[in-house]
Structure 1
Amino acid sequence: MTAPVDRRFSADAAAHRRDAPRFCPQCAGGLGIATEFWEADERRFYCSCTGCGWTGEITPTGTVATGHEPEH
């Protein structure tokens, strides 16, 4: 007998699967782990690459990247 699925977290799980980083920003290899956590209202992923050994945080910026250049 299996336990019933708790549907309260299904939207969060779907968002994690959709948004979790898949590739290392250093070597472009596949990430071994991407653990999601929240800091205030910012969503972050702590990631580790099995290829090059890189570890660090990745913060999603949304659908549009925010640059550092001032408006022209």
Structure 2
Amino acid sequence: MSALAMDMEQSLAKVLAEHERGMLARAVVVAELLDDDGDRSLSVLTSPGMPEWDALGLCRYGALSIEGPAAAFFTEDGE
């Protein structure tokens, strides 16, 4: 387990608990990072020990939850 993944999970669990969102079971965090030169990169962090197929499933479900409302916005016929 990477120290970064463990720190991320502990921090996220603490924030969610402080906002009374429940107990964190697992997490996938997708973050855009900027380096000192302003170059962008994408970082994907998962809960320690999470199998890739579980991480993919959580990411896909999250993407669908964004895509649905976005698609509905662009396909409304104005009524």
Q: Same fold (TM over 0.5)?
A: no
Superposition TM-score tier, normalisation by shorter sequence: under 0.3
Q: Using CA pairs under 8 Å that are at least 6 residues apart, name the structure with larger relative contact order, 1 or 2.
A: 2
